[in-house]
Structure 1
Amino acid sequence: MSTTTTIRLEDDLKERVSEAAARAGKTAHAFIRDAIAESVAQAEFDAEADRICEERWAEFLRTGEAVPWDDVKAYMRATAAGKKAKRPLARKIV
C-alpha cells in the first residue's frame, strides 16, 4: 500500500532535482522516491554496522582478545595474492 506525503522544497532545490532526474532518465517523483529509499537503506546499514561494532567491542572488553592488525594485513595480502594462508587467531592484547 502506498500513501501520499507532501514535501516542500526550495525553488532552487526543486530545479536541481528536476535536472538531476532528467539526467538519470527518471521523473522527479521517481528520483526523489529512489533517493529516499537509498537514504533509508544507508541508515539501516549504518545502524546494523553500529550494532555489530558495539557487540564486538563488548566482546573485546570482556575477553581482551583481538586479532592484531599486522596479522590481518599479512593474511589479506596472502589471500589477495592467491596464496593459501592460515587465518589469524585472536589473542590477548596487552
Structure 2
Amino acid sequence: MSPVSTTSLKLPDEIKLQAANAAKDLGVTTHAFMVEAIKQASINAELRRSFLEDANNARNEVLQEGKVHDADKVFKHLKARIAGKKSNLKATNW
C-alpha cells in the first residue's frame, strides 16, 4: 500500500450533504466517496489533456502535410468495412 497523507477539505454544506447522500446510496463512507471522486477527476483531467495533445498534434500534421480524409468517404469506408467488404481509404490534399 502506498503512503497516505492527510488533506483537509473545506466544503460548502450543500456539497458535503450531496457527497454524504451519494456515498450512502453507494454503500460507502463519505471519505471513500470523496477519495474516489478526486481519483476520477484526476483521471479525467489526464484523459482530457491527452486528448487535446493528440488533437493539436493531428492539426499540426494536417497543416504541415496537407493531407486529409473527406468525411463522406470516411463514412462510406466505415459502412463497407462493417458490412465485411474491403475498402481503401486514401488521404487527399487539402
TM-score (norm 2): 0.89
CA displacement, residues 38-89 of structure 1 (integer Å, 9 cap, x when unaligned): 11101100111111111111110011101111111112222333x2232412
Between the aligned residues of both structures, percent identity stands at: 27
Q: Offset at 1:15?
A: 1.1
How many angstroms apart in 1 are the aligned matches of 2:92 and 2:34? Answer: 48
Counterpart of 1:92 in structure 2: which amino acid? N
Indicate how the Cα distance of structure 1 residues 3 and 87 shifts in structure 2: closer, same or farther if over 3 A, else same. farther
Unpaired runs of at least 5, structure 1: none
How many angstroms apart in 2 are the aligned matches of 1:42 and 1:87? Answer: 35
How many angstroms apart in 2 are the aligned matches of 1:43 and 1:12? Answer: 24
Unpaired runs of at least 5, structure 2: none
Check whether the contact 2:77–2:89 (CA below 8 A) recurs between aligned residues.
Answer: yes
How many angstroms apart in 2 are the aligned matches of 1:33 and 1:16? Answer: 15
Q: Secondary structure at the match of 1:3?
A: coil
Q: Offset at 1:25?
A: 1.3
Q: Which residue number in structure 2 is paired with residue 2 of structure 1?
A: 4
How many angstroms apart in 1 are the aligned matches of 2:45 and 2:53? Answer: 12
Check whether the contact 2:77–2:87 (CA below 8 A) recurs between aligned residues.
Answer: yes
Q: Secondary structure at the match of 2:41?
A: helix
> How many residue pairs were aligned?
92
RMSD: 1.2
